[in-house]
């Protein structure tokens, strides 16, 4: 697997940049999308797939209604990186196409995460407003009912007072006294009911205010929690990339790759790890233990000397030896897969001794901190 050259991104406020004699102009002003796709047709399938995937992700982000509001800078950088990939395709530079396509995909993913976060916050705000509206409507109806009951009680009290006056006028003193006592009791009961109804209405209003404040506080906590989780995920990813870079891992369109030369790991024709390989194995295991959600693909390769059957079996055993060493160093074997690719996918010519030495290798392909590989479509070879 070849190492992409450290091309420099052309930012919107830069004129142009130079690397190795090649001038990268601001591609958005030079190559339309159709010309880029036509240029990609002459490249290798991995480069075409990387460019197509990046183009789909950038277009998907552009189609988001909230893209400019939530992710204006990542979207702008993704467009610039995609345009640079198209310019690289016009120069038939597969490594640069994969490099710029990878940057465009990462910027598009970052922008999509920011759009998703804003959508989630808007949904939380909408749900909170609807809940407050329903709660307010319920409390309002409850208060109106309490007021209606208080008014009815007041009317009954007035009716009782009127009846008391009639009794006083129609009956003699003795009867009037008995009826007066009964009417007075009814008046007292009615007034007590009216007072209770007023108290219930006041309590309903207080409950409405307390519940509204609680809803607003819960919504704010949910937004803060979502922001904190997103920030933690970005920090973990940055830390993992830094640790892998310190092991000489390099970035590819499929993710971070660490190449281990078989001449440093195994004796000629053997599949037993040499003692000198263990410091690197220990360092890789330490990174995997520090980031327990990272997954790993261990792939073995040989030169073209010998039969395909022999080379396939040898590359499989060597890759398995590295995996076994990682497991012995405390890494859960369910986190990695082992593949022997034999003499396929050489990174140098097998016509020279130096080229064959480069082709005899074990590659470690790392996922992101959430266990996702950059390309994971069914039947697609991750190269």
pLDDT in tens, 337-358: 999 999 999 999 999 999 999 9
Of residues 147, 178, 149, the one with CA closest to residue 164 = 178
**In angstroms, rounded to a whole number, what is the distance separating the alpha carbons of residues 15 and 37?**
24
* Bridge partners, residue 298, by sequence: 338, 364
Per-residue model confidence as pLDDT tens digits over 62-118: 999 999 998 999 999 999 999 999 999 999 999 999 999 999 999 999 999 999 999
pLDDT at 38 over 70: no
**What's the pLDDT at 27?**
40
Nearest to 33 by CA among 83, 102, 94: 83
Helix pair angle (45-63, 94-170), 10° resolution: 30
pLDDT at 101: 94
Q: What's 12's DSSP letter? A: T
Tens digit of pLDDT for each residue in 308-329? 999 999 999 999 999 999 999 9
Spell out where 262-318 has E strands.
Answer: 296-301
Contact 320, 338 (CB under 8 A): yes
Q: How far is CA 142 from the centre of its chain?
A: 44
Integer Cα distance of 289 and 259 in angstroms: 20
Q: Is the pLDDT of residue 29 over 90?
A: no
Full-model pTM: 0.44
According to the model, what pLDDT value does residue 18 have? 31
d(CA 337, CA 364): 10
Rounded-to-integer distance, Cα 190 and Cα 248, Å: 88
What confidence tier does 14 reach under pLDDT thresholds 50, 70, 90?
Answer: very low
CA distance 107 to 129: 33
**Residue whose C-alpha is closest to residue 369's, from 247, 237, 229:** 237
The answer to whether residues 346 and 356 touch, using CB atoms and an 8 Å cutoff, is no
Give me the mean pLDDT over the 148-171 stretch: 84
């Amino acid at each position: 697997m070849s190492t992409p050259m450290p091309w420099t991104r052309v930012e919107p406020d830069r004129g142009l940049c130079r690397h190795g004699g090649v001038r990268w102009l601001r591609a958005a002003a030079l190559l339309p999308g159709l010309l880029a796709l036509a240029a990609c047709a002459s490249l290798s399938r991995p480069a075409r797939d990387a460019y197509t995937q990046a183009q789909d992700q950038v277009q998907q982000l552009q189609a988001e209604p909230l893209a400019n509001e939530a992710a204006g800078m990542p979207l702008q950088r993704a467009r610039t990186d995609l345009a640079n990939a198209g310019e690289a395709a016009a120069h038939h530079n597969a490594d640069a196409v994969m490099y710029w396509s990878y940057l465009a995909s990462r910027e598009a993913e970052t922008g999509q995460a920011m759009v998703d976060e804003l959508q989630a916050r808007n949904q939380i705000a909408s749900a909170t407003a609807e809940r407050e509206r329903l709660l307010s409507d319920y409390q309002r109806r409850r208060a109106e009912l309490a007021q209606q009951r208080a008014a009815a009680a007041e009317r009954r009290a007035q009716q009782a007072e009127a009846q008391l006056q009639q009794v006083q006028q129609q009956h003699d003193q003795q009867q009037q006294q008995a009826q007066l006592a009964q009417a007075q009791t009814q008046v007292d009961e009615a007034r007590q009911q009216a007072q209770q109804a007023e108290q219930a209405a006041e309590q309903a209003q207080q409950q409405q205010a307390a519940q509204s404040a609680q809803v607003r506080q819960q919504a704010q906590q949910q937004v803060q929690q979502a922001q904190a989780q997103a920030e933690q995920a970005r920090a973990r990813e940055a830390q993992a990339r830094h640790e892998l870079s310190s092991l000489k891992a390099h970035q590819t369109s499929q993710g971070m790759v660490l190449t281990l030369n078989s001449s440093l790991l195994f004796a000629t024709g053997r599949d037993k790890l040499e003692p000198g390989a263990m410091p690197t194995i220990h360092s890789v295991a330490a990174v995997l233990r520090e980031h327990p959600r990272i997954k790993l693909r261990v792939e073995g390769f040989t030169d073209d000397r010998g039969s395909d059957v022999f080379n396939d079996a040898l590359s499989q055993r060597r890759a398995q030896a590295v995996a076994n060493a990682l497991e012995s160093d405390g890494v859960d074997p369910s986190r990695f897969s082992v593949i022997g690719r034999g003499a396929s996918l050489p990174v140098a010519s097998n016509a020279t001794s130096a080229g064959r030495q480069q082709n005899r290798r074990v590659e470690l392909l790392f996922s992101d901190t959430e266990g996702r590989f950059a390309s994971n479509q069914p039947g697609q070879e991750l190269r």
